[in-house]
Structure 1
């Protein structure tokens, strides 16, 4: 069911020499993570940076040696030397900026979430189909070393079986006035929980995807439905998935997560992506990852790499994320998500949509 799409550059862009990178959104994540790993990529040239807060753009551009600070998004997007666009702005603006880059046939990296509404996703899908550029998403956990090692065990299983996945995430404590809380930004479902929804789709795709997922939602506080909640998924293939997000206090070392996975005779326990232990029958093996490896470096460098994950996985995980987000807003605790139907509807809507593509709205 999942569609792979080999589009754009047939080899990593780094093989063409220095690559000019532009970045929209110069906040903490762009500064501490995205540009940090791009600087390690020797073929990167920092071309242009834009942020509505000029001080942030100046700080990032000065530290990393960007050639210029763009006075506007259009100025950056229309730069004749721009090759790769990184979108790391506020969540609601990810899709409009990505579309603007794709309309100019650029290579575009979109930090998660790629869209905060189905309308945005339809427009983004339409832009991807019409562009000769390529697109990558900032969902990094599929690129974590632990997940890639675990994939080998599942791939070598003698027969297909159901997955049991259990996630416990200690998330950031987000105050009521934080921009994440703005209604237009997609709630914590798009902003945070989408990471583990996406990882779930990625893992299920190792076998093959289910026809449907039944969704059960439990929230602790009826006045704050997208925080301190549990999402349980069951499927026609008898998979059992539980995702618990809790944020009673701020974790001292940042987000902490614990993942337990069982598939046939394989049991894996991932401790905050610092350690993973795998049992296969009587055999046990432990890996330690220092520093903690949640896949940021490999995900950020997708435009410079081959063998990236299929975009169809990202489309499906975004559809599921937006579906769950809508059910939470509707206070509907039980629902069913039909995978083939959702993908087909997205494809049909993106083909027949006569709506003009999103405009830039920083």
Structure 2
């Protein structure tokens, strides 16, 4: 093995490594401005439910920005990952189509971006076999996501798919030769795993016959600068907690949920993330919608209390999401188009995966 992945994963979460990753991200941003065509991005979501404002402000806006900058964008519907920690798939077909509808309504352009589901790309998943030969059981168990899942099982055995989740993510990234992955700091260990796999593959098997290029690029992480948005109850935003607002909800549904949002007893509104996190969170959401600084919003509300704060958030969020909701309604009226977009993306992904797998077989001397 060319390096100890356990050490790499531990280092990737250190402050020094985080600072290094931020410097790399700054250089990448500059490189995108100079020539966006040198990058291919892989990003995506699990179809475990409907997209919400946490997804929107945390990653979807950045995804759109990269597309508009001219970066070749691949958007993954990670349907196989639904069963890593679940006993069944649920209404997965409806959720996949809903996810694609959301992407299109938000502005993901199928002419410039490839939208696909990895369960429909056999060659992508076949990469799991050689990739698994490059990692050990101990290394996988030290991955932070796998480790936290194991700790949270309460004695329930962890599935093999959950254990190999980081390797599956590597296959998602590498099959399409993505060299850029938008990530939060918690996802850096997964990206490090993908880089280690590329290095080990190259060291063990080399290059395809007649080529001097590595089969896989070393993907870099583009750290998000998005502000952390909490749920309406002041805790981490999560579908399972029911503390968020889905993008597809109506204006009335949005208003009802915001009315239940947690604030505090102090009628004077101030922006104090440390001592008043719930109030600060609602001010941040307004700021994200309007572009107005949180402190200015707080000063404007003054002694208006939580009621005025929630009313302002309701108006700002509904106005901000109105174009998306209108476009989504149009798309829902034409389900055939949604299916067509997904099928075209899957066909594109299969062509790329087949080509990549052919290179892998050549490098491994397994062409018969």
Q: When the two structures are superposed, what TM-score results if normalisation uses the length of structure 1?
A: 0.31
Higher helix share: 2
Higher strand share: 1
Name which one, 1 or 2, has greater alpha-carbon Rg: 2
Q: When the two structures are superposed, what TM-score results if normalisation uses the length of structure 2?
A: 0.30
